[in-house]
Amino acid sequence: MKQLAALAWKEWHEVRIYLWIALGVFVGLPVIGMLEAKYQHVGGRYEISASPWVLIFGGVLAVFVAVGATCRDFSGRLEDFWRSRPLNVGRWLLVKYFVGLAVVLASCVLPLVVELCIDKQKQALLFAVWFPFMWAAAYSLGFLSGCLLRRTAHAAMLALAGMLLVWFLPLVLPPLQWMSLTVITSYYLPALQWPDVFDARFVQFAAGMAAVAVLMAIVSIQIARRGWRIEAGPKMMYGSVSAALLILFASAAFQLGTNLPVLQQVDLPQMDSPSRIASSRLRCVGQRGFIMAEYFPDTPQLQIGQVKFKLRTFDLTPSGIKLESTIREVTDSLFWGYQGAVWAPNDLGIGYVVDNMGGDGRDEYMLRAVSLETEAKGEPQFLWEQSDTHSKPIPYGFAVYVRRNRLYVISSHLVVLDISQPLKPRIISNTPFSWPDVPGSPEYQDMDRLVFTLPQVADLSPAERLEATMGSASYINLHSFDGEYLCIADGDVLVAYRLTDLNGITATFKKIGQYEPTILEDVFGLNPYGQMTVQNGLVYAQFYGRSAGVNSSISVFDLRSNPTLRLVGHFSAPGAEVVQPLPDGRAIVGGSKLWLIGPPPKRNPD
Amino acid sequence: MRQLIWKEWHEQSWRLGFGCLVLGAMALIGLHARILNDNAMMMWVCFIGITLLPVLSITGLLPAERNEGTFESLLALPVAPWKILAAKTVMGLVLCAGPMVAAAVISLLAAGGREMLDQDILHLYADSTLSAISLLLWMMALTSRLPSEARAGLLASGILILWILATAGLAYPSVPPLARAISPLVFVYQFSGDHMGPLLPEWVNLLVAAVIAIVLWVWTAKRLTGAVEGES
């Protein structure tokens, strides 16, 4: 016991300097910040913010303490001296390990305790309870590195590279996300709530980090006992650090990047001057399709009218996409921006849009038929007039539905039109219609069950009523429905439902899963969801790249997998903003070019 | 001379392999994954090349010899000191240009003609290589008398930061275009904008860089003795 105490005393005297330095940095600097804030904002409360310092530099401190403790006694003649003593190497190392670890934990936890005592916010409690496991893992890595290399600078570099992997690999590799730091940092703890502090996810994180720490400590002691060492040189140092960085980069890149095979890439027509090209609309019916491309001139300040819209049709052949040579500039703004258009089933470019053409507190609803292919417009058809819409809002907005040569406009009126001549729709009937209210925009991620009341249109079957309800339902957030699966974007969360009951009056959906964008997607500046299409049990969701140079991307999720919404494919390319899945599993993506991409590589049939 | 180059190659070839591997892997992973558009990705690869390759090269040439105590032996050989410097310079150029060439070839194979024309890709890498070589010569001149790799690495990093800041300063519209040409980063820095005035043709930049390189090299050769900075 005396021997152990003497060893502990010796270790303490050697490592305590780190404690004083760490307290100086982790407490001293925040105190200076607090005093500065106090003098700048008279009357404010004293608050100390030690956690940013501790979270950023705690791991580095752990590595330095561990490497210093091991390399000091394992270098040169000191090692011979220690090995000549009547001392068990394992015990000696254990004492060294625990004294160093105690110094690291005290250095990191004490500032957090000070913050907890002074601050109103209790977020630091989570860090003080759970981050010690992570610092222990970093400390053990440093200890192992020191035992193995026995040269301070090299061991520290190697340990820091290892620490980078332990910290950031769980961020980029989904199977390891339970060990990610963000499990702790993303949790908001406004007040002292002990049940929240001991959440199962935190215990899981701590168990993972503790396992790393214990494993590294055992390996270190074995290495020291057997006298193993690696001759460290610049080759190993450069190699290990860059390997760690490349692993992180590759993991991040392949998680966000492209894994869908590009079967064909087709250039879109160029303008005379350099332009950024984006695709705003893509449609494919059978073997024919069209792409509408927007051309943004390469000028610092975009003027109105400078954006050009060009339409190009294509044929889809077994060998790929074949663009037709005709390029038509679409000059009429009427054809540019309709997102809610309903397309004629067999005519490629003919769409129908309901517009409010009224004014002066009077709403006058008209139907427009437009042909994108020829830029032809049908005569607007008056549907109905409604005044005082603020006090009596139209409950479902508009549902516009096409079945063969009939067009149904369902709202406060039910208007049925004959569209056997697509650009000359003819009203067959127009009657006042009642469609019960639906709840506004609920938090879909909290709703396990969705029930839609269907419009009672005698001509339509229950499935068609549901299709009409979903088709252009402006009251639901961005969504897509393929007859069985319904996906809805609720903020950043993608929520998936499956149809469980359909009768003539209601349709019931059961929630089957949800997807939340990863931290990596956020870090790389990808905004969910620009567009969404469900087909063949897959959902194609578009992420818009908001940061300069970051490509937009299409992510493909499997709705039939277990768990639901498993990411099975992704495709990134400049301006990849519109997607049209094809029945055979391939998909056409429109952006600065047109891409034909193959089906996702992995797929669970059921 | 051939033997000197062989010696340098024997000692430094792993750095060349390392540089090629890191830059090539970054280009390949980034261009295959396409998180960034091709231009942005290649600019990142070039940025890493420009910042890391000269520092990596310079620490292994003269300061490493001094650190290991072999530089005096090298000077004692019946070879003119400038030839020793020439061999080391050739190796430094290879260390800077080799990984850039590797990354350019990989970029062309992975993304040639995809979003950028092949000639634009080659132009980007060629400009970056010129900047890396210019930086190398500045670093070589200023670190040739340092006694250790660590000190040389620190000073080289300082030179790099200094030139980045200075080049940003030279980008002010009131600075004459010829003054911008003295920066090693003139080949890659985007001196563009409404008030920048006319840009110098590329050959003028090249000429100025060549003159500076010769002056720096001659100065380094003249100072190439056994004396070490910081020692009396």
Decide if B91 is inside a domain: yes
CA-nearest of A280, A398, A421, A420 to A342 is: A398
Provide the shortest C-alpha distance from residue B25 to chain A (in Å). Answer: 8
Please state, rounded to an integer, the average pLDDT across all residues of chain B: 87
CA dihedral (B80, B82, B83, B88) positive or negative: positive
Residues of chain B with Cβ-Cβ distance to A265 below 8 Å are 114
Whether the CB-CB separation of B130 and B46 falls below 8 Å is answered with: no
Look at residue A208 and tell me whether its pLDDT is greater than 50: yes
Least confident of A449-458, A473-482, B73-82, B181-190: A473-482
Quote the pLDDT of residue A337: 54
Decide if B232 is inside a domain: no
Least confident of A46-60, A353-367, B121-135, B189-203: B189-203
Q: What is the pLDDT of residues B165-183, one digit of tens each?
A: 888 888 877 778 788 888 8
Phi, psi of A486, rounded to the nearest 5 degrees:
-125, 125
| Domain count along chain B | 1
Interface residues on A facing B, Cβ-Cβ cutoff 8 A: 234-235, 238-239, 242, 246, 249-250, 252-254, 256-258, 265, 524, 548-551, 553, 572-574, 592
Q: What range defines the domain where residue B25 resides?
A: 2-223
ipTM of this predicted complex? 0.78
Quote the pLDDT of residue A442: 66
What CA–CA distance (Å, rounded) separates A106 from A111? 8
Q: Which residue of B has its CA nearest to A255?
A: B33
Provide the shortest C-alpha distance from residue B196 to chain A (in Å). Answer: 15
Quote the pLDDT of residue A213: 94
Q: What is the pLDDT of residues A182-202, one digit of tens each?
A: 788 777 666 666 677 788 888
Largest CA distance in chain B: 59
Look at residue A571 and tell me whether its pLDDT is greater than 80: yes
Q: What is the pLDDT of residues A93-109, one digit of tens each?
A: 899 999 999 999 999 99
Q: Is B29 part of the contact surface with chain A (CB cutoff 8 Å)?
A: yes
Highest mean pLDDT among A88-92, A168-172, A598-602, B214-218: B214-218
Q: What percent of chain A has pLDDT over 70?
A: 85
More confident residue, A154 or B25: B25
- CA separation, residue A423 to residues A351, A357, A367 (Å): 9, 19, 11
Decide if B228 is inside a domain: no
Residues of chain B with Cβ-Cβ distance to A250 below 8 Å are 25, 29
* Confidence tier at A391 by pLDDT (50, 70, 90): very low
Least confident of A484-493, B9-18, B84-93, B190-199: B190-199
Q: What percent of chain A has pLDDT over 90?
A: 16
In this complex, do A253 and B33 lie within 8 Å of one another by their Cβ atoms? yes
* Confidence tier at A332 by pLDDT (50, 70, 90): low
- Pick A549's closest partner by Cβ from B40, B60, B114: B40
Decide if B230 is inside a domain: no
More confident residue, A431 or A471: A431
- Pick A258's closest partner by Cβ from B34, B40, B60: B34
Decide if B231 is inside a domain: no
- Pick A549's closest partner by Cβ from B18, B29, B37: B37
Q: What is the pLDDT of residues A451-479, one digit of tens each?
A: 888 888 888 899 988 888 886 555 566 78
Provide the shortest C-alpha distance from residue B61 to chain A (in Å). Answer: 13
Quote the pLDDT of residue A605: 46
Over chain B, what HEC string results? CHHHHHHHHHHHHHHHHHHHHHHHHHHHHHHHHCCECHHHHHHHHHHHHHHHHHHHHHHHCHHHHHHHCCHHHHHHCCCCHHHHHHHHHHHHHHHHHHHHHHHHHHHHHHHECCCECHHHHHHHHHHHHHHHHHHHHHHHHHHCCCCCHHHHHHHHHHHHHHHHHHHHHHCCCCCCHHHHCCCHHHHCCCCCCCCCCCCCCHHHHHHHHHHHHHHHHHHHHHCCCCCCCCCC
Q: What is the pLDDT of residues A263-310, one digit of tens each?
A: 988 887 664 555 667 677 788 888 888 887 777 766 666 666 667 777
Per-residue pLDDT averaged across A344-355, rounded? Answer: 78
Quote the pLDDT of residue A138: 94
Look at residue A606 and tell me whether its pLDDT is greater than 50: no
Per-residue pLDDT averaged across B114-121, rounded? Answer: 88
Mutation for testing the B interface, residue in A154, A157, A172, A238 having most B CBs under 10 Å: A238
In this complex, do B18 and A239 lie within 8 Å of one another by their Cβ atoms? yes
More confident residue, B46 or A363: B46
Q: Helix or strand or coil: residue B9? A: helix
In this complex, do A256 and B26 lie within 8 Å of one another by their Cβ atoms? no
Per-residue pLDDT averaged across A553-571, rounded? Answer: 84
In this complex, do B33 and A239 lie within 8 Å of one another by their Cβ atoms? no
- CA separation, residue A137 to residues A57, A200, A450, B44 (Å): 14, 20, 46, 32
Look at residue A532 and tell me whether its pLDDT is greater than 90: no
Per-residue pLDDT averaged across A16-29, rounded? Answer: 91
Residues of chain A with Cβ-Cβ distance to B21 below 8 Å are 242
Decide if B211 is inside a domain: yes
Q: What is the pLDDT of residues A232-253, one digit of tens each?
A: 777 888 888 888 888 888 888 8
